[in-house]
A and B are shown apart, each in its own frame.
Chain A
Amino acid sequence: MSELSNAEPRSYSRTFDKSRMRRRRSSVLSAGAKSPKREGLSALVVDNGAYSVKVGLSTAQSPTLVPNCIMKAKSERKRLFIGAQINECRDCSGLYFLLPCERGYITKWDVQKPVWDYVFSRNVHPVEDKPVVMTQPLFNFKSIQDCIDEIFFEEYEVPSMFRPNPTDLSKLKYQQDNKLSNNLPCIIVDSGFSFTHVIPYINGNKYLRAIRRLNVGGKLLTNHLKDLISYRQYNVMEETYVINQVKEDTCYISNNVLDELKLASTKNNPIVRNYVLPDFNNIRRGYIQDPNDVNQKEIEENCQILKLNNERFVVPEILFHPSDIGMKSAGLAEAVVDSIFRCPEHARRDLAKHVVLSGGNCKFPGFRDRMYAELRSYLPHDWEVGVYMPDDPVGYSWKGGSALLKVPNFKNLLVTKSEYEEFGSTITQQRFNSWMTDNSEPDSESSEPEISFSYLDNIKGRSIFGKNELGNNDSKFESNTNESDSLGSDSKTDSNDGTNQIPETTENDINTEHSTEQSSNGFNELMNSVDLFPFGTNTYL
């Protein structure tokens, strides 16, 4: 019978016998009865990614995915497609994207607000007086947080709100699923659209000192694939939407790039795939051609076919070797290892055992195996290495939202509307940003100075087709306002000490030797900057 599972009748039957028992039991019961009643059991969980918003009630099984952008189509010039409305668009060629995020941080509020309006309308998920749990990127800036506060508390008038990092949720989900203790160290690798974060958790908290960020994300990979195809086959610079699908359908991560390259250079090799591009007439979404299917041949005769060879694995390879496109930063596996060795010694073995992958890039076939192989070769042989990838890496942190509600003092974490009105944004910052963080000083034994790295901008004055991209609105994954960096370099570059020191003249000058002569002054200044070249300038020349 259900007697065991249902605590209530059992306790009633006993309380009839012992009055003292009853009093105690009933007090427990009433406390227990309150907790499911409080709003904790259902909250609106929003994982606000730079590419897609994952939204849904915490009680639901899986989130609703809404593209976090506004799109303009060439076929319907007057209409803006907000979020998932793009499914109503018949001709998705030459889509132009307006993205709310720059390098993962919301800066285009006039784009983000309509998307949120759409998400929180009847079409998707109204707020409905439920607490809102919304993710924000790591080290979100104060001004951005202020804006979110203002929009949610004053525009949407949510009763209460909490903002964790998406990786916090992934971590909670991981330990809940595997019944691990809260204090067990683990590393969350979150490889998203704008960047990839490596975040170690020790004693249930983020260990801030060892967090690493790689400025490689899905956006950069799509843009690079677009460049490659445009250079080798068709000009697809305008077709970001289609090429993103090509990337998702065909790219994979190889285990041995050099061998695979050799294989790819032979004739009739197994790597080549013919990808049928959509014509938005008969074919709505592109697919990989099946050479044995005769029925499809007729339809495909009139279609453009993309031949993909080594592009299939060279593009995702950037995650592990950013040096392939001239970035100085370490690869993903190297960054994980670096992060592990920055953590206190007692936690390192456990960290290596619990590496959790999340985020859309993890969906490349072979990602987990490659990660495991590289970590295995970097770490000491007697350490156990464990790499875990969930079935749905995109929705993983969203699913952690329900795990968050089970955190014992979750109710105290929420900031209510009245608290916000009383204390303003200080209280939200205090409460949200200190949650699950460990900002402790490193042990005195390892008191070597902390080095932080900032890289030079990859100066890309021109696109590969020679036109100057400054302020040029084409349909890259870029935001609408013009930015001085081009070609998605916005995701591959970073806060740079150097930009101010580089004279303007070099920006559009491609002949490198020439430009260094011209700007020898600025160049010397650059080379003397200790901040930029922590290992000395010689290693870079």
Chain B
Amino acid sequence: MSVEEQKTEQKLVFKSSSLQFQSANKKKCVWKGLKQIISSEKALPWPDNCVHYGSINAPPSFKPPEKFSDLSGLPAPYTDPQTRLRFANKDEYATIIELPMDITAGYLTLRGATSIVG
């Protein structure tokens, strides 16, 4: 008797099979960008000497950066003090002084030399 009763009453107490959640929050989900993730990760209380994303960067190079001409890519012993462009010989210099501002800026960007401390 009691066994049969139990069998028939297989109702889940907390779960109603008819209930369905309304997908109310259908609005577009915005994912965090990497910068946000990194900064929130950084804010976590990491223990001392813990290794995580921010601490595994390769160290700065011990070798001085080599200097190459912006125009030709050849080793460049000279730098134009006005535009900060590097050049290998006087012919290149003759070209450089005629270049308009936006082109010189472009060359510098190409070399990654626009940083304020570079």
In this assembly, does B58 line the interface, its C-beta being within 8 Å of a C-beta of chain A? yes
List the one stretch of A136-144, A176-184, A283-291, A386-394 in contact with chain B. Answer: A136-144
Number of interface residues of A (CB under 8 A): 83
Asked whether B116 lies within 8 Å of A314 as measured between CB atoms, the reply is no
Asked whether B56 lies within 8 Å of A139 as measured between CB atoms, the reply is yes
In this assembly, does B115 line the interface, its C-beta being within 8 Å of a C-beta of chain A? yes
In this assembly, does A372 line the interface, its C-beta being within 8 Å of a C-beta of chain B? no
From 499 to 529 in chain A, residues with beta carbon under 8 angstroms from any chain B beta carbon are: 502, 506, 510, 512, 515-516, 519, 523, 526-527
Asked whether A462 lies within 8 Å of B109 as measured between CB atoms, the reply is yes
CA distance A527 to B117 in the complex (A): 9
Asked whether B60 lies within 8 Å of A330 as measured between CB atoms, the reply is yes
User: C-beta contact mask, B95-118 vs A, less than 8 Å → 1, else 0?
Assistant: 000000010011111111111111
In this assembly, does A75 line the interface, its C-beta being within 8 Å of a C-beta of chain B? no
**Could you say which of A102, A108, A228, A535 contacts B60, with CB atoms under 8 Å apart?**
A535
Asked whether B102 lies within 8 Å of A466 as measured between CB atoms, the reply is yes
Total A-B Cβ pairs within 8 A: 176
From 40 to 86 in chain B, residues with beta carbon under 8 angstroms from any chain A beta carbon are: 41-42, 49-66, 68, 72-75, 84
Asked whether A330 lies within 8 Å of B59 as measured between CB atoms, the reply is yes
Chain A min CB distance to B26 (Å): 14
- Shortest Cβ distance from A325 into B: residue: B112
- For A12, what are the chain B residues with a Cβ–Cβ distance below 8 Å? none
Number of interface residues of B (CB under 8 A): 48
In this assembly, does A369 line the interface, its C-beta being within 8 Å of a C-beta of chain B? no
- Shortest Cβ distance from B31 into A: residue: A109
Chain A min CB distance to B109 (Å): 5
CA distance A495 to B57 in the complex (A): 9
- For B54, what are the chain A residues with a Cβ–Cβ distance below 8 Å? 452, 454, 495
- Shortest Cβ distance from B113 into A: residue: A326
Asked whether A334 lies within 8 Å of B110 as measured between CB atoms, the reply is no
Chain A min CB distance to B84 (Å): 7
List the one stretch of A15-23, A32-40, A206-214 in contact with chain B. Answer: A206-214
Chain A min CB distance to B27 (Å): 13
Q: A105-B37, A212-B56, A265-B74 are in contact. Are A450 and B117 (CB under 8 A)?
A: no
In this assembly, does A335 line the interface, its C-beta being within 8 Å of a C-beta of chain B? yes
In this assembly, does B7 line the interface, its C-beta being within 8 Å of a C-beta of chain A? no
CA distance A310 to B99 in the complex (A): 23
Asked whether B57 lies within 8 Å of A213 as measured between CB atoms, the reply is yes
Chain A min CB distance to B95 (Å): 13
In this assembly, does B32 line the interface, its C-beta being within 8 Å of a C-beta of chain A? yes
In this assembly, does B13 line the interface, its C-beta being within 8 Å of a C-beta of chain A? no
In this assembly, does A304 line the interface, its C-beta being within 8 Å of a C-beta of chain B? no
Asked whether A329 lies within 8 Å of B60 as measured between CB atoms, the reply is yes
Asked whether B34 lies within 8 Å of A453 as measured between CB atoms, the reply is no
CA distance A258 to B66 in the complex (A): 10
- Shortest Cβ distance from A105 into B: residue: B34
- Shortest Cβ distance from B44 into A: residue: A142
Asked whether B73 lies within 8 Å of A314 as measured between CB atoms, the reply is yes
**Could you say which of A212, A519, A540, A541 contacts B57, with CB atoms under 8 Å apart?**
A212
CA distance A455 to B31 in the complex (A): 26
Asked whether B109 lies within 8 Å of A460 as measured between CB atoms, the reply is yes
In this assembly, does A464 line the interface, its C-beta being within 8 Å of a C-beta of chain B? yes
- For B118, what are the chain A residues with a Cβ–Cβ distance below 8 Å? 326, 512
User: C-beta contact mask, A116-143 vs B, less than 8 Å → 1, else 0?
Assistant: 0000000000000000000000110111
CA distance A460 to B50 in the complex (A): 32
Chain A min CB distance to B79 (Å): 13
CA distance A451 to B113 in the complex (A): 26
Chain B min CB distance to A263 (Å): 11
- Shortest Cβ distance from B60 into A: residue: A328
- Shortest Cβ distance from A485 into B: residue: B35
- Shortest Cβ distance from A331 into B: residue: B61
Asked whether B37 lies within 8 Å of A452 as measured between CB atoms, the reply is no
Asked whether B114 lies within 8 Å of A439 as measured between CB atoms, the reply is no
Asked whether B62 lies within 8 Å of A141 as measured between CB atoms, the reply is no
CA distance A322 to B52 in the complex (A): 23
Asked whether B61 lies within 8 Å of A506 as measured between CB atoms, the reply is no
- For A265, what are the chain B residues with a Cβ–Cβ distance below 8 Å? 72, 74
Asked whether B61 lies within 8 Å of A334 as measured between CB atoms, the reply is yes
Asked whether B116 lies within 8 Å of A459 as measured between CB atoms, the reply is yes
- For A213, what are the chain B residues with a Cβ–Cβ distance below 8 Å? 56-58
- For B55, what are the chain A residues with a Cβ–Cβ distance below 8 Å? 450, 452
CA distance A231 to B105 in the complex (A): 12
In this assembly, does A458 line the interface, its C-beta being within 8 Å of a C-beta of chain B? yes
In this assembly, does A474 line the interface, its C-beta being within 8 Å of a C-beta of chain B? no
From 1 to 42 in chain B, residues with beta carbon under 8 angstroms from any chain A beta carbon are: 31-34, 37-39, 41-42
Q: What are 29 A-B pairs at a CB distance below 8 A?
A: A139-B51, A139-B56, A208-B51, A209-B51, A212-B58, A213-B58, A227-B110, A231-B110, A310-B73, A323-B64, A325-B111, A326-B65, A326-B113, A326-B118, A329-B58, A330-B58, A334-B62, A338-B59, A439-B50, A441-B49, A450-B49, A450-B55, A451-B59, A453-B57, A457-B115, A464-B110, A495-B53, A495-B54, A510-B108
Give the 3 A-B residue pairs with the shortest CB-CB distance, closest first: A326-B112, A323-B65, A464-B106
